[in-house]
Amino acid sequence: MARHQARKRFGQHFLIDEGVIEAIVRAIAPQRSDKVVEIGPGLSALTGPLLQALDHLTVVEIDRDLAAHLQNTHSPQRLTVVQSDALQVDFSQMGPGLRIVGNLPYNISSPLLFHLMASASQVVDQHFMLQREVIDRMVAQPSTADYGRLSVMLQSRYAMDKLFDVAPEAFDPPPRVVSAVVRMKPLPADRPQAKDQVFFSKVVARAFAQRRKMLRKGLGDWAALVDWEAIGVPETARAEELSVAQFIALADYLHIQPKNQ
């Protein structure tokens, strides 16, 4: 196809560094029968190598021109093209055993990560390239500057490993930030988890809304309902000091209080 102009509204930065592409494919280690879904194939930097290793690949592409090019270039027996916004795709409808990969648009990375949580029970693993700053927040530990709502919510559902950094020069056009690659593996069904996931999410969001305040102030009217000793959290604790397990304990305790029924 003629040279494609990267579109700012889609956050397009096309990966062009062959060494980085090879490193990502090695990290994914695709097997021929794997059920791989690539988000944002763009100019096929990953799509080509993945197709060489797989019997079939599904891609989700929002850009109509790029989606049409992919459909015209590859046999439908080898490549299924879903021309759609990934935020609107119900990945759980693709069945179990999914391996999801992609160079995610940085302007929707956090919303997309939260969107994918709904399909985590269908997923084997996820390999994504994202802004390094986002991945640092994803894998951050309590009592560190990067630890926040994103850390707690994703760590409650996935085991995650930051694999390697990717310099801006690996892309065309180069982004203004350093990127990185992360591996995410959904935790098993018997993992510690909140009794009500929606309420757990609300508690975490409220706790980090004023992260510098002690929870007894930051939680507002919920704070008076908490028996801090019973859940093993100091009354003077701030949100950034609580582990995922402590957030689960806090949410479960609040959830059974009559005011929150």
Q: What sign for the dihedral angle of Cα 150, 156, 157, 162?
A: positive
Q: Which two tokens stand for residue 125?
A: 């693993």
Angle at 127 between CA 79 and CA 37, to 5 degrees: 20
Q: How far is Cα of residue 68 from the mean position of the Cα atoms in its chain?
A: 27
> Are 180 and 164 within 8 A, CB to CB?
yes
pLDDT at residue 169 above 50?
A: yes
Q: What Rg do the C-alpha atoms of the chain give, in angstroms?
A: 20
pLDDT digits (tens, 9 = 90+) for 25-56: 999 999 999 999 999 998 899 999 999 999 99
Q: Which two tokens stand for residue 207?
A: 């706790």
Mean residue pLDDT of the chain comes to 92
* pLDDT at site 1: 44
- Per the confidence metrics, is the pTM higher than 0.75? yes
Residue predicted with more confidence, 223 or 6: 223
Angle at 52 between CA 61 and CA 36, to 5 degrees: 45
pLDDT at residue 183 above 80?
A: yes
Q: Which domains does the chain have, with CATH numbers?
A: 8-186 (3.40.50.150), 197-260 (1.10.8.100)
pLDDT digits (tens, 9 = 90+) for 6-32: 444 444 578 999 999 999 999 999 999
pLDDT at residue 122 above 60?
A: yes
* pLDDT at site 10: 42
* pLDDT average, residue stretch 234-261: 91
Q: What sign for the dihedral angle of Cα 113, 115, 117, 120?
A: negative
* pLDDT average, residue stretch 131-147: 97
Q: 80: part of which helix (H) or strand (E)?
A: strand 79-83
* pLDDT at site 101: 98
d(CA 186, CA 210): 29
For the beta carbon of residue 46, count every other beta carbon within 10 angstroms.
26
pLDDT at residue 219 above 90?
A: yes
d(CA 185, CA 179): 20
* pLDDT average, residue stretch 167-188: 94
What DSSP assignment string belongs to 129-162?
A: EEEHHHHHHHSPPTTSTT-SHHHHHHHTTEEEEE
Give residue 106's pLDDT band: very low, low, confident or very high (50, 70, 90): confident
Give residue 259's pLDDT band: very low, low, confident or very high (50, 70, 90): low
